Structure 1
Amino acid sequence: MSRLRVWARDLGMGARFAFGGGREGWIRTVLTGVGVGLGVALLLISTAIPGALTARYERGDARSTMSSGTADAPGPDTLLIARIGQTYHHKDIEGHMMRAEGPDAPLPPGLEKIPGPGEMAVSPALDELLKSSDGALLRERLDARVSGIVGDPGLTGPGELLFYLGSDTLRKDGPEDYRVERITSFGYDAERERLDPVLMLMVVLTFVALLTPVAVFIAAAVRFGGERRDRRLAALRLVGADSRMVRRIAAGEALAGSLVGLVLGAGFFAVGRSLVGSLSLQQRSVFPSDLDPAPWLAALVAVAVPAAAVAVTLVALRGVVIEPLGVVRTTAPARRRIWWRLLLPVISIGLLVPMGGRGSGHGQFNQWQVSAGVVLLLVGITALLPWLLERFVARMTGGPVSWQLAVRRLQVNSGPAARLVNGIAVSVAGAIALQMLFAGVEGDYTRRTGQDPSRAAVSVILHRGSEARMDELAQRISASAGVVRAVPLASVSAAREVPAQEKLVQVTVGTCDALGEVATLDSCTDGDAFVLTGAPSMAPYDGTAKPGDELFVGNVRGFGPEPADGARHVKWTVPANARQVTSREDPAGERRTGLLVTPSAAPKDAATAGMAQIFVQVDESDGNGLERARNAAFKADPFTTASTMRVSTELAGYSSIRIGLFFGATAVLVLIGASLLVSQLEQLRERRRLLSSLVAFGTKRSTLSLSVLWQTAVPIVLGLVLATAAGVGLGTVLMRMAAQPIRIDWPSVLGMTAVGAGVVAAVTLLSLPPLLRLMRPDGLRTE
């Protein structure tokens, strides 16, 4: 018989044992399939993420107007469009106002027609929000009739909040001209900017650190029920099978379980894919249809998982002598050696250390070298933990009965306990290293805005030409419930000559209360004027003036359309009573220069050439005060910009990677919990007869429960200690690679360790009810 036919025969026999070996056989196959399936599902999701992100970018580019065709005059194919994005309860809403100038005006993707005046088209998520009780205040702001729903081609994700508002007053020659575009098409050919080396390093590390535990879980899952399988193989030796044949049979059984895992994994992936449309994290969501793995990656998973299952099984059996009368592993095993287990982290350090100090300005990192180094270190944890656990329990003696039972079980065979912990240890180590790297580079990708949200929650900026209505709008906002006060400030440019190109003087107009937000005033009454000092001069507002100086105030640079009255600027004399005051940062973090004047001393007929800003302070105990202020601003003028004050902002690429890490970490934690639970139940099932025997001889159930708890707690504690040390070491090396000062972020380290311990504690609690059922005396029954 040829070698190929021999392998096929023996693998087929193993598959028959997996599916037709009675209840024990198929239970083990199902457990293996579930464990492998969870890992396969996460692998498929991981391979689909790049494609889903690309689809998001393409949908966003398809509706963008950044490089669209434009026209200078109205035509049959022109569309006026302006962005009027909103914020509601910390959620960003993408919004556009539009007016078709001809019958062939371009349609945004996802729309069947352009909304008419008083109508708007909204995304499904925004439509749902508007119809809900939470959207009551938003309905007051966007009170146009919903005439259509934006289709999927016009959305970046199912959870996106988007609206298109129709208008018959939008024009290109008005004061908002700079915000209105006249386009003939939609679409943007974007050339994505490459991530800098440190951000690319973080992307690579995120994938490696999240996927390595998956591989560890799959390797552990194919060994479920290993002790029962080996006893069955010993029975085959008794009826004449040789050692090679039983190994091929074991490989066939593992192969069958992995194939079941592939089928279940595809099912889990399909279920997860169908649910992903309802998930949104920080307003980022993906369509289920976009979560589509690349065919070659899916084929790679389909081939690699069964191959890995066979390889792991054959490697595991190398240390087991299966004889006709039993399995030699039940005797005291040979002591594990340490030398080769240390080679993995040593090689890892050797790969990573030479790339130290490159940072963002010293070239790209070798992605394959980085990946190999990190994988070797994380895999090294799985090699070191069994040795560490064996050495630790070998010296344990005495203690309560529950402790002695647990220690004795670990002394006899610590392998299954170590495999149970390996996945969580690898996950925690990788997460600690990533958290250290993120904390180390956070300062490079987080910018302090200088804004003070305690002084103003929002800044309302009016467009050019609406400054005259500033006080009216401020009164409407301040009259809104939940608003403490609204501070209006108008700014206009001045110069000694026109047209002016530089040395402009900034003239800020406001009440004494308002001027107190931008300068330190000892006293102030209407009619006063002040000369600001102490602020750094920045072009173009690097000029100043003295009391009695004559200035031209208004549109002194000659930009924009000619006013209807032909007056671009007026002549104004700085009041003689102007005195010097020290500039201070306003709520937006800016320090103004030039002059401060109260309304009665301000230049007349010049406000239309400046800018108006209203700082709004709200009662934090009223959760809707901020939204009422935004409603008042939008009702007064949709082109007002209501910017939320923030202490800091993050670079978009850095923020996206952090969000991706959160998504991935959440999925891996779910996998960890599910896999640990399946593994724990499998081990308890294998010890059912032993537990029942101890109960039959009078052992207390509480004692047995505690012994099972100790058997889990000891490996977990050792695994978390090893994971913390490895994670801190890897994080240190990564920070050196990113050219960052080494700083251990202890809250993150302790937090990730606590999360790992919490997952194990939850799994242990969930396994207690099955444990109590397995300790019944009827567990001694056999057929």
Structure 2
Amino acid sequence: MNVRQWTRDLGMGVRFAFAGGREGWVRVLLTGVGVGLGVALLLLTTALPSALDARSAREAARSDINYGSDEMPKADNTLLVAASGTTFRDKTIRGRDVQPEGPKAPLPPGVEKLPAAGEMVVSPALKKLLGSDEGKLLRERLPQKIVGTIGDSGLIGPTDLSFYRGGEGLAAQLTSGGVVRIDEYGRQSQGSEPLDPVLLLLVLVVFVVLLMPVGVFIAAAVRFGGERRDRRLAALRLVGSDSRMTKRVAAGEALAGAAVGLVLGTGFFLVGREIAGSTEVFDVSVFPSYLNPSPALALLVAILVPAAAVLVTLLALRGVVIEPLGVVRTAKPARRRLWWRLLLPLAGLAMLYPMIGQGRDDGDFNQYLVIGGVMLLLVGVTALLPWIVETVVGKLGSGGIAWQLAVRRLQLSSGTAARMVNGIAVAVAGAIALQMLFAGVESDYTKPTGQDVTRVQMQVNLPDGVPLAQSASKFRDTDGVRKVYAYTEGYVSDKAMDGELNSRVTVGDCASLREVASLPSCRDGDIFAVQGAENGENTVDNGVNTEELAKPGRTVYFDSGYEGGPKTEPLAWTLPSTLKKAQARVDMTGSERDGLMVTPKALPAGAVPGMSGQIYLNLDESVPDVYDLVRNTTATFDPINEPMMWASTETAERYDSIRTGLFVGAACVLALIGASLLVSQLEQLRERKKLLSALVAFGTRRRTLSLSVLWQTAIPIALGLVLASVVGLTLGAVLLKMTETAITVDWSSVLVMIGAGAAVVVAVTLLSLPPLLRLMRPDGLRTE
């Protein structure tokens, strides 16, 4: 057929779509909304690379702290910077104390003037938080006067919580490693290492799993109103068109719906982009200007969506014989064949098979095979589900009236029911596979810290010159603090300089020392030599014998200060004859301490300046905002350094970022699933308007009809979720085999995935009940 004939027939279909009266407009609108939701998410996906690049560029432009760089000399264009960020509840606040050393000191991006001591410049989001009732505790920690706001160029997102605070006396802390001197912002650091093969595999699978449901929904949306369309096409056959022309006209109608979908999708995307400026998902926010789709990718979407609409329509009509009177609709349709539907998942497995056992040591996984294999497995869900629904509903027996109505409807149009739940099934299958993959490799990126969070929940490292006893007293007076364990730590050696034997010295009261060693008896003035530490620093395995160094009457020398701390002259100390022995025990950090345990009265005068202080806190976590109360107390004597939160494990930053990206993407896809399902459900109800009205006119109870609609949704969903579980578990097992990880299934998580999919369907069904009740009226039989 020549191009002119195709163009004429497609144009006729477009005219039918827009000139077909109310019914035509409603169908085009429903198709447009369904396609538009998918297009909006596709445009968002094409905008992600630019958004990530923009965030990275903003972060790089304001980078300042680089402890690995060489220290530069003081000049009139240098600036002292200290990282003074904090945490408020579950929000991380980026903070910097800045002190200019000359009139040409660099300005941070988005800041017009450096704040003086007692002043600070804050981000708009932080200013709002500080001015709210919620920010009362935070105002106690950041009492400085706000003299300006940070512009967008200095923030990575609209909800970014940041401040620059005027500092003083920062030069004295240059040697401690907490303060750096810079002459410009945005100094380039060393490039980051490439993703390891397993993380790259995670990224690839995440993108495929999140985008596949979008494609499935777009394919389903262009088939809205299929039964009414076929009746209209039958009328065309009646006036003389052949079957090929009829199919081209139908493709033209689908093309019109897809074109409307592109327009609506662009509008949805623009609206969503503006909403994104005031929305935060999993602590991630972006400026609307970040979300600029790549022109090439946006053009690809604009081409592929209409092309897919035409292709899907032609494929759907391939098995439909449209006769002038539409008689074929009353005939029993041919049974679906299974063999070719099984080829899709088998081909997917064949593409993934060569990479099984590769792990992370044999180079990157082949990206094309990974993407193709995962796509074919998930597409296999959409191919198998119609056959499964048709086979199962064909064997369902009798039951109540609502059940019979639902089963009969499914037997007549099982394909429509399967299309409606295909997206949910694909999303759940992908989610199960991803959950298995994430859970399987989590141990590789999550390491135990050894910290005993049942004994200690927060740790405070004291700055130079801050008295340990006074600080500990402040924490004991803080609400929610149960116990305070305070220690001063340093080292002694057998010689004043370059000693051969050395030992750690831990100073604390008896209660604190009992947390780190087993003491026979203890009172202030006692000294203990700890023995039996299997993993201490001063064991025989490390070349040092603590017993040889810690002998009564022996003279030892305190080191000239800890690394980064103040330097002092070596101090001689003669160990007393009353030196006691103690046994090591596992302390709160997960290790066994060795060396000398000293109570405060036994410590010689002049030893403290060369030692560092740490305070460990046991908290009553039932007290509201107990962590922020501790942070506020810390800020009274150390406004720069943040107390450390303890955790039993720590997760690699890149792995955590990918997981966060998955959560953000999954939230968007779930929103699309719910909205598209609702549109699909409304379209199905519109198709059955006259049938429902006729049943009501004959006396069928509305409760019965509502239950039948529920069953019509529940049966395909149940079958779809079972199929999704099988495919998801299979794909997850293959991915774990590819990474050389043992196959384990967290059944509770699988049930959560299935429950989430079912919950979306239940919510959509409930939302569709009001329109259903409006349709169940006898006056719906009126026609024009």
TM-score, L = length of structure 2: 0.96
SS at match of 1:301: helix
**1:142: which partner in 2?**
142
**2:660: which partner in 1?**
659
Q: How far apart, in 2, do the equivalents of 1:558 and 1:177 lie?
A: 10
- The 1:247–1:266 alpha-carbon spacing in structure 2 relative to 1, beyond 3 Å, is same
- The 1:502–1:431 alpha-carbon spacing in structure 2 relative to 1, beyond 3 Å, is farther
Q: How far apart, in 1, do the equivalents of 2:597 and 2:448 lie?
A: 27
Q: How far apart, in 1, do the equivalents of 2:249 and 2:327 lie?
A: 16
Alignment equivalent of 1:480, drawn from 470, 478, 491: 478
Instruction: Tell me the CA shift for residue 538 of structure 1.
Output: 5.4
Instruction: Tell me the CA shift for residue 17 of structure 1.
Output: 1.4
SS at match of 2:336: coil
Q: How far apart, in 1, do the equivalents of 2:80 and 2:315 lie?
A: 68
Instruction: Tell me the CA shift for residue 363 of structure 1.
Output: 1.6
Residue 588 of structure 1 contacts residue 645 of structure 1 at CA under 8 Å; is this kept in 2? no
**1:93: which partner in 2?**
93
Q: How far apart, in 1, do the equivalents of 2:782 and 2:282 lie?
A: 55
Residue 79 of structure 2 contacts residue 182 of structure 2 at CA under 8 Å; is this kept in 1? yes
Question: Which residue identity is paired with 2:61?
Answer: A
Instruction: Tell me the CA shift for residue 129 of structure 1.
Output: 1.3
Residue 331 of structure 1 contacts residue 412 of structure 1 at CA under 8 Å; is this kept in 2? no
Structure 1 unpaired stretches of 5+: none
- The 1:576–1:93 alpha-carbon spacing in structure 2 relative to 1, beyond 3 Å, is farther
**2:323: which partner in 1?**
323
**2:558: which partner in 1?**
554
Question: Which residue identity is paired with 1:89?
Answer: R
Q: Which moved more, 1:678-687 or 1:282-291?
A: 282-291
Instruction: Tell me the CA shift for residue 537 of structure 1.
Output: 4.7
Task: Please say if 1:648 is aligned against 2:649.
Answer: yes
Residue 493 of structure 2 contacts residue 559 of structure 2 at CA under 8 Å; is this kept in 1? no
- The 1:503–1:767 alpha-carbon spacing in structure 2 relative to 1, beyond 3 Å, is farther
**2:717: which partner in 1?**
716
Q: How far apart, in 2, do the equivalents of 1:424 and 1:503 lie?
A: 67
**1:413: which partner in 2?**
413
**1:768: which partner in 2?**
769
Question: Which residue identity is paired with 2:40?
Answer: A
**2:629: which partner in 1?**
628
Q: How far apart, in 2, do the equivalents of 1:101 and 1:681 lie?
A: 68
**1:703: which partner in 2?**
704
Instruction: Tell me the CA shift for residue 409 of structure 1.
Output: 1.4
**2:778: which partner in 1?**
777
Task: Please say if 1:52 is aligned against 2:56.
Answer: no
Post-superposition Cα deviations, 1:621-680, rounded to whole Å, max 9, x if no partner, equal 211333222212112122444101112111101111111111111111111111111111
**1:528: which partner in 2?**
526
Q: For this pair of structures, how many residues does the alignment match?
A: 776
Residue 175 of structure 2 contacts residue 565 of structure 2 at CA under 8 Å; is this kept in 1? no
Question: Which residue identity is paired with 1:94?
Answer: R
**1:13: which partner in 2?**
12
Instruction: Tell me the CA shift for residue 60 of structure 1.
Output: 1.2
SS at match of 1:636: coil
Instruction: Tell me the CA shift for residue 240 of structure 1.
Output: 1.5
Instruction: Tell me the CA shift for residue 551 of structure 1.
Output: 4.6
Q: How far apart, in 1, do the equivalents of 2:78 and 2:188 lie?
A: 20
Residue 477 of structure 1 contacts residue 483 of structure 1 at CA under 8 Å; is this kept in 2? yes
Post-superposition Cα deviations, 1:84-108, rounded to whole Å, max 9, x if no partner, equal 2212213222111111010000111
Question: Which residue identity is paired with 2:23?
Answer: E
Question: Which residue identity is paired with 2:36?
Answer: G
Q: How far apart, in 1, do the equivalents of 2:306 and 2:181 lie?
A: 58
Post-superposition Cα deviations, 1:175-232, rounded to whole Å, max 9, x if no partner, equal 7542221111111324132111111101100000010010000000000000000100
Post-superposition Cα deviations, 1:565-624, rounded to whole Å, max 9, x if no partner, equal xx4220112232222222233333343221100011113211111210011222222113
Task: Please say if 1:607 is aligned against 2:612.
Answer: no
SS at match of 2:589: coil
Post-superposition Cα deviations, 1:732-758, rounded to whole Å, max 9, x if no partner, equal 111101111011111111110111111
Residue 536 of structure 2 contacts residue 593 of structure 2 at CA under 8 Å; is this kept in 1? no
SS at match of 2:643: strand
**2:580: which partner in 1?**
579
- The 1:658–1:551 alpha-carbon spacing in structure 2 relative to 1, beyond 3 Å, is farther
SS at match of 1:447: strand
Q: How far apart, in 1, do the equivalents of 2:687 and 2:564 lie?
A: 83
Q: How far apart, in 1, do the equivalents of 2:192 and 2:327 lie?
A: 60
Post-superposition Cα deviations, 1:299-354, rounded to whole Å, max 9, x if no partner, equal 11111100000100011111111111115244210011111001011111111122
Q: Which moved more, 1:92-101 or 1:367-376?
A: 92-101
SS at match of 1:164: strand
**1:43: which partner in 2?**
42
Residue 553 of structure 1 contacts residue 603 of structure 1 at CA under 8 Å; is this kept in 2? no
TM-score, L = length of structure 1: 0.96
**2:334: which partner in 1?**
334
Instruction: Tell me the CA shift for residue 498 of structure 1.
Output: 3.4
**1:374: which partner in 2?**
374
- The 1:56–1:575 alpha-carbon spacing in structure 2 relative to 1, beyond 3 Å, is farther
Q: How far apart, in 1, do the equivalents of 2:597 and 2:767 lie?
A: 68
Residue 550 of structure 1 contacts residue 571 of structure 1 at CA under 8 Å; is this kept in 2? no
Instruction: Tell me the CA shift for residue 502 of structure 1.
Output: 6.5
**2:599: which partner in 1?**
598
**2:452: which partner in 1?**
452
**2:683: which partner in 1?**
682
Q: How far apart, in 2, do the equivalents of 1:327 and 1:318 lie?
A: 17
Residue 250 of structure 1 contacts residue 313 of structure 1 at CA under 8 Å; is this kept in 2? yes
**1:239: which partner in 2?**
239
Residue 67 of structure 1 contacts residue 187 of structure 1 at CA under 8 Å; is this kept in 2? no
Residue 97 of structure 1 contacts residue 164 of structure 1 at CA under 8 Å; is this kept in 2? yes
Post-superposition Cα deviations, 1:259-309, rounded to whole Å, max 9, x if no partner, equal 110111111111111111222234322221112111111111111100000
Q: How far apart, in 2, do the equivalents of 1:261 and 1:389 lie?
A: 29
Question: Which residue identity is paired with 1:141?
Answer: R
Q: How far apart, in 2, do the equivalents of 1:504 and 1:163 lie?
A: 44
Q: How far apart, in 2, do the equivalents of 1:331 and 1:388 lie?
A: 21
SS at match of 1:114: coil
Q: How far apart, in 2, do the equivalents of 1:383 and 1:412 lie?
A: 19
Q: How far apart, in 1, do the equivalents of 2:319 and 2:233 lie?
A: 15
Instruction: Tell me the CA shift for residue 124 of structure 1.
Output: 1.5
Q: How does 1:188-207 map to 2 (within 5 A)?
A: 188-190=187-189, 191-207=191-207
**2:514: which partner in 1?**
516
Post-superposition Cα deviations, 1:246-271, rounded to whole Å, max 9, x if no partner, equal 11111111111001101111111111
- The 1:574–1:283 alpha-carbon spacing in structure 2 relative to 1, beyond 3 Å, is farther
SS at match of 1:284: coil
Instruction: Tell me the CA shift for residue 727 of structure 1.
Output: 0.5
Question: Which residue identity is paired with 2:671?
Answer: V
Q: Which moved more, 1:105-114 or 1:628-637?
A: 628-637
Post-superposition Cα deviations, 1:369-421, rounded to whole Å, max 9, x if no partner, equal 00100100100011111111111111223221221221111112211001011
Q: How does 1:153-172 map to 2 (within 5 A)?
A: 153-171=153-171
Residue 561 of structure 2 contacts residue 609 of structure 2 at CA under 8 Å; is this kept in 1? no
Q: Which moved more, 1:700-709 or 1:346-355?
A: 700-709
Question: Which residue identity is paired with 1:259?
Answer: A
Q: How far apart, in 1, do the equivalents of 2:271 and 2:719 lie?
A: 36
**1:744: which partner in 2?**
745
Residue 562 of structure 2 contacts residue 610 of structure 2 at CA under 8 Å; is this kept in 1? no
**1:3: which partner in 2?**
2
Residue 459 of structure 1 contacts residue 613 of structure 1 at CA under 8 Å; is this kept in 2? yes
Q: How far apart, in 1, do the equivalents of 2:102 and 2:680 lie?
A: 67
Q: How far apart, in 1, do the equivalents of 2:635 and 2:343 lie?
A: 65
Question: Which residue identity is paired with 2:734?
Answer: V
Residue 566 of structure 2 contacts residue 610 of structure 2 at CA under 8 Å; is this kept in 1? no
**1:351: which partner in 2?**
351
**1:278: which partner in 2?**
278
Post-superposition Cα deviations, 1:489-520, rounded to whole Å, max 9, x if no partner, equal 00011111233377431100010011122112
Question: Which residue identity is paired with 1:390?
Answer: E
Q: How far apart, in 2, do the equivalents of 1:625 and 1:397 lie?
A: 61
Q: How far apart, in 1, do the equivalents of 2:337 and 2:702 lie?
A: 37
Alignment equivalent of 1:506, drawn from 504, 507, 512: 504
Instruction: Tell me the CA shift for residue 547 of structure 1.
Output: 2.9
Residue 273 of structure 2 contacts residue 288 of structure 2 at CA under 8 Å; is this kept in 1? yes
